[in-house]
Structure 1
Amino acid sequence: MRILLVDDQKSLRRSLSLMLQGAGFETDEAESGEGALSRLGNQKYDLVITDLRMDGMSGVDLLREIKRENPALPVILITAYGSIDSAVDAMRLGAFDYLTKPFREQDMLEKIHASQAIPAAAAWPAVAVPSRDAQDIVAETPQMRATLIKAERIARTDISVLITGETGTGKTRVARFIHQNSARQQAPFVSINCASLPENLLESELFGHVKGSFTGATESRAGLFEEADGGTLFLDEVDTLSPAMQAKLLSVLQEKIIRRVGSNKGKKVDIRIMSASNQDLSLLIEKGHFRSDLYFRLNGIRLHLPPLRERGQDLQNLLQRFLAIYGNKYGRSGLRLTPRAEAYVLGYPYPGNIRQLESFVEQMAVFADDAGHIDVDALPEDLQQQTAPLAMKNGHTELTESGSIADSERRMIEATLLRSTNIGEAARVLGIGRTTLWRKMREYNLHFHPHGRSR
């Protein structure tokens, strides 16, 4: 695989080139968009990786020229965190994906492999941004808009999809969105939470069983694979599968043939598999808890859903949506938060994400006063007990990514670092992954010291 790297900073270009060569790729370099176009005119490449902001021709301008001359060539953009909006615009123009600085080598390699795994993906045409409330998915923040763009494009293919993210981030909704925008939309969408059943019952639920195959099997029964034939099967919390179930699932994915429990007769099925995990499967593989061959079958392409605490404007929109829903449900139309209560609601980190926010709002609707006002005393106990509610200015909360939501988040992370003995403990207390915590520490210029001092 031959990759063209484009960046006007030589040191960044060289370090990326060495990293990719170490991973087995051939690389060429260009110091400008114009230089890249010259190389593209003389050499065949499988992928272009370009910085978004460069002197002269920008990464977006380079993307436009590439798509005009060679629409099948995939392009990945690298951008700073503050320029994600521009990267999302580039995806509308046909970019395959983007990465924000600083990024992990694993994330870069994953996107490179994904760009080659989807035959039709390289030629993705320019698209309009899907509705920001597309099929009930709130997506005002650029990360979620990018996720919807990728989801809509993935829907046109039949590749397996692994959706990652914390509990309650909306993984099932995104899986359903992909199914409903795919060629399989008229066939069933079948979902199961792999953690909800013990292994013996899960096997029967997935593959079915024949009469008499175990105690209580009084009749033959089709499993979810058969029920989803022609459509999509969504396996939530796939990280909880036992080694034995992982082996059986891998066999079905390889052969596309299922056998009911107690039967030797196989049946061919035509199914698209989507799965979800709230754990990092690559870490589970390192620990020997998850099969790498099954991971590669499931991870045709990965979509990561950010936690709610990183989706400032989405939090506000979801809050208003749930207030309307539960106001109608309980006959309390016109529910509204006082400024003090809103400060608590918008400043909370939501380890349970959207599902937790919805539960909180339902409780607020029940305890609102007769006029529909929700003050601090009507908030759930978890919200009232937080130590750093969102700051207010002139009686109103700030709702921008760079405003007091970020200030509140910084204060919360700093306070947790001061109380924690190691980074892992701080991440657990905050309800986020270690990688997310490190990224936030870099973003807010926070440092951890073993004796409990951060600055």
Structure 2
Amino acid sequence: MTRVLLVDDQRSLRRSLSLMLQNAGFETGEAASGAEALALLDAETFDAVITDMRMEGMSGIDLLRAIKTRDETLPVIVITAYASIESAVEAMRLGAFDYLTKPFQEKDIVEKINACTAFRDCVSRQPAKAVPLPQAYVPVSGSPEMRAVLIRVERIAQTDLSVLITGETGTGKSRIARLLHDRSPRAAFPFVSINCASLPEQLLESELFGHVRGSFTGATESRTGLFEAADRGTIFLDEVDTLSPAMQAKLLSVLQDRQVRRVGSNQWKSIDIRVLAASNQNLGALIESGRFREDLYYRIKGVRLHLPPLRERGDDLISLLDSLLQKYAAKYGRTKLRLTERAMSHLVGYSYPGNIRELESFVEQMAVFADENDWIDVDALPEEVLKHSKTSASPHRERSGVLNLALSERLLIESALERFESISEAARELGIGRTTLWRKMRQYGLQAEGGPAAECNTPSDSD
């Protein structure tokens, strides 16, 4: 039975967590401090640790560091208030498996405990080193929520755990799936992706499992299915929620036995694959309504990764715009695509229901309609942005205001760097020190375009 150590200097929280986990079938131990927790870990065996970040004496971060020096594979989950999510992300960078934000529900805790214990089991069975990742596949992100996702990807990639990736349409689920494969020990073998909604059921079975010659009308030759093609690699089942009940049953059988049988054949073939799946639907609701098998859900959800929508990712919009503007400037032979402040104000006031996919489509369109000096103004914006953006009186006004402040600062710095030939002159124009300007340039990923080569050494902090 899975044993979980609960660490918190508040007895009421420990008791509440303990009751939740015991109701779910776990055994628990309790420690009122980091020192007490380390003593228990020396004396007893636990499968996971849940610790509060803020405690008297040894903090949750200090306890995490101490645990990782003793046992790198022991999963640690940190508890934090939502306002402290940045510190939770830092804890994950230092080795925490995941985090919980207060308040939380029993199902959230149970899901994370199941995931981290499965992770430990998998790591102990198959230790592996990461395969170098091509830079092109690294998603752009500055938001703490997405950084937390990417940290989890790095850890989960080293295992053979199945992963269910959820999120709205266009949030980048297929890119995360590819990232999981490319960071895994299976990276040298095939990555096979299929959209389960793209084919009718009678063709999907043949596509997934293959068929033999003569098994149905039109089957003039035998064909290998995608599961066989993915042998030793990874298969990604996008929109898995669209599978019919019959296909769900067949998929469950394959995932349980790790064997496939081609349509029309009596021969079974063993396969060695990792399974990733994605859905933009609430699978829990589909299970309750009888449209998705609960046993299949638990097969594909070894670990769940949820991708937040773009409207909840704060400054990621700026980074994504930068990246996409560079991409389409190169595609359409532009020197450097730039947005006017008016255009940017509209873009940050739009809610992006299609998320990153919609943003990319917009940027390509804007690249085509940019003026002869490579500036994108309001007249180059898509109709949807102009019609539905909320540049004022918006429910996202606070976030948009922060974004506009950062963007205004960036535009001012870009303008100064283009007009002056040295960093010092640009800094004087902006009314700031050279060190401050260098820091701002690093923050926004800017480089001087004039002739400040003689000033390329980072200035001292005394400027």
Interval containing the TM-score (normalised by the shorter chain): 0.7 to 0.9
1:85 — aligned with what? 86
Tell me the distance in 1 between the aligned counterparts of 2:191 and 2:125.
27
Q: Tell me which amino acid in the other structure corresponds to 1:350.
A: Y
Equivalent position to 1:178, from 163, 177, 180 = 180
Tell me the distance in 1 between the aligned counterparts of 2:52 and 2:58.
11
Q: SS in structure 2 opposite 1:76?
A: strand
Equivalent position to 2:252, from 246, 250, 255 = 250
* TM-aligned CA deviation for residue 214 of structure 1: 1.9
* TM-aligned CA deviation for residue 90 of structure 1: 1.7
Equivalent position to 1:144, from 146, 161, 168 = 146
Q: SS in structure 1 opposite 2:211?
A: coil
Q: Tell me which amino acid in the other structure corresponds to 2:404.
A: T
2:38 — aligned with what? 37
Matched, 1:368 2:370: yes
**Equivalent pair of 1:236/1:276 in contact (CA under 8 Å):** yes
Q: In terms of Rg, which structure is larger?
A: 2
Q: Tell me which amino acid in the other structure corresponds to 1:272.
A: R
Q: SS in structure 1 opposite 2:175?
A: helix
Q: SS in structure 2 opposite 1:215?
A: coil
Q: SS in structure 1 opposite 2:187?
A: coil
1:288 — aligned with what? 290
Q: Which deviations, in whole Å up to 9, do the C-alpha atoms of 1:221-268 show, x marking residues without a partner? A: 111112111211110011111100000111111222211112222222
Tell me the distance in 2 between the aligned counterparts of 1:256 and 1:156.
20
Q: Which deviations, in whole Å up to 9, do the C-alpha atoms of 1:306-349 show, x marking residues without a partner? A: 11112122211111111111122222332111111101111222
**Equivalent pair of 2:347/2:389 in contact (CA under 8 Å):** no
Equivalent position to 1:159, from 158, 161, 181 = 161
TM-score of the pair, normalised by structure 2? 0.80
Tell me the distance in 2 between the aligned counterparts of 1:90 and 1:140.
16
**Equivalent pair of 2:210/2:223 in contact (CA under 8 Å):** yes
**Equivalent pair of 1:161/1:273 in contact (CA under 8 Å):** yes
Structure 1 unaligned residues grouped into runs of 5+: 401-455
* TM-aligned CA deviation for residue 357 of structure 1: 0.4
Matched, 1:397 2:398: no
Alignment map for 1:266-305 (pairs within 5 Å): 266-305=268-307
Name which of structure 1's ranges 12-21 and 196-205 shifts more when overlaid on structure 2. Answer: 12-21
When residues 264 and 247 of structure 1 are mapped into structure 2, their CA distance, relative to the original with a 3 A threshold, is: same
**Equivalent pair of 1:324/1:333 in contact (CA under 8 Å):** no
Q: SS in structure 2 opposite 1:29?
A: strand
Q: Tell me which amino acid in the other structure corresponds to 2:48.
A: L
TM-score of the pair, normalised by structure 1? 0.81
When residues 191 and 285 of structure 1 are mapped into structure 2, their CA distance, relative to the original with a 3 A threshold, is: same
**Equivalent pair of 2:209/2:227 in contact (CA under 8 Å):** yes
Q: Tell me which amino acid in the other structure corresponds to 2:199.
A: L
Q: Which deviations, in whole Å up to 9, do the C-alpha atoms of 1:252-299 show, x marking residues without a partner? A: 112222111122222222111111111122221121111111111111
Structure 2 unaligned residues grouped into runs of 5+: 408-463
Q: SS in structure 2 opposite 1:273?
A: strand
Equivalent position to 1:316, from 315, 318, 325 = 318
Q: Give the paired residue count.
A: 398
Q: SS in structure 1 opposite 2:49?
A: strand
When residues 121 and 100 of structure 1 are mapped into structure 2, their CA distance, relative to the original with a 3 A threshold, is: farther
* TM-aligned CA deviation for residue 54 of structure 1: 1.9
**Equivalent pair of 2:138/2:179 in contact (CA under 8 Å):** no
**Equivalent pair of 1:71/1:123 in contact (CA under 8 Å):** no
Tell me the distance in 1 between the aligned counterparts of 2:403 and 2:102.
33
1:56 — aligned with what? 57
Equivalent position to 1:213, from 215, 224, 241 = 215
Tell me the distance in 2 between the aligned counterparts of 1:143 and 1:215.
50
* TM-aligned CA deviation for residue 61 of structure 1: 0.6
When residues 358 and 15 of structure 1 are mapped into structure 2, their CA distance, relative to the original with a 3 A threshold, is: same
Q: SS in structure 2 opposite 1:398?
A: helix
Q: SS in structure 1 opposite 2:223?
A: coil
* TM-aligned CA deviation for residue 72 of structure 1: 3.7
When residues 395 and 315 of structure 1 are mapped into structure 2, their CA distance, relative to the original with a 3 A threshold, is: closer
**Equivalent pair of 1:208/1:260 in contact (CA under 8 Å):** yes
Tell me the distance in 2 between the aligned counterparts of 1:84 and 1:395.
18
Tell me the distance in 1 between the aligned counterparts of 2:196 and 2:402.
46
Q: Which deviations, in whole Å up to 9, do the C-alpha atoms of 1:396-441 show, x marking residues without a partner? A: 81349xxxxxxxxxxxxxxxxxxxxxxxxxxxxxxxxxxxxxxxxx
Tell me the distance in 2 between the aligned counterparts of 1:120 and 1:264.
32
Q: SS in structure 2 opposite 1:348?
A: coil
**Equivalent pair of 2:192/2:235 in contact (CA under 8 Å):** yes
Tell me the distance in 2 between the aligned counterparts of 1:132 and 1:39.
42
Tell me the distance in 1 between the aligned counterparts of 2:239 and 2:401.
44
Equivalent position to 2:388, from 361, 386, 389 = 386
Tell me the distance in 2 between the aligned counterparts of 1:399 and 1:231.
43
**Equivalent pair of 1:238/1:276 in contact (CA under 8 Å):** yes
**Equivalent pair of 2:133/2:183 in contact (CA under 8 Å):** no
**Equivalent pair of 2:340/2:376 in contact (CA under 8 Å):** yes
**Equivalent pair of 1:121/1:153 in contact (CA under 8 Å):** no
Q: SS in structure 2 opposite 1:369?
A: coil
1:449 — aligned with what? none
2:440 — aligned with what? none
* TM-aligned CA deviation for residue 59 of structure 1: 0.4
Aligned-pair RMSD on alpha carbons? Answer: 2.7
Tell me the distance in 1 between the aligned counterparts of 2:190 and 2:264.
26
Matched, 1:47 2:41: no
Q: Which deviations, in whole Å up to 9, do the C-alpha atoms of 1:20-77 show, x marking residues without a partner? A: 2222223233332233234334443222111112232110011112222343432110
Q: Which deviations, in whole Å up to 9, do the C-alpha atoms of 1:192-245 show, x marking residues without a partner? A: 000111111111111111222222222221111121112111100111111000
Name which of structure 1's ranges 291-300 and 113-122 shifts more when overlaid on structure 2. Answer: 113-122
Q: Tell me which amino acid in the other structure corresponds to 2:52.
A: D
Q: Tell me which amino acid in the other structure corresponds to 1:357.
A: L
Q: Which deviations, in whole Å up to 9, do the C-alpha atoms of 1:344-377 show, x marking residues without a partner? A: 1112221111101000111111222222222222
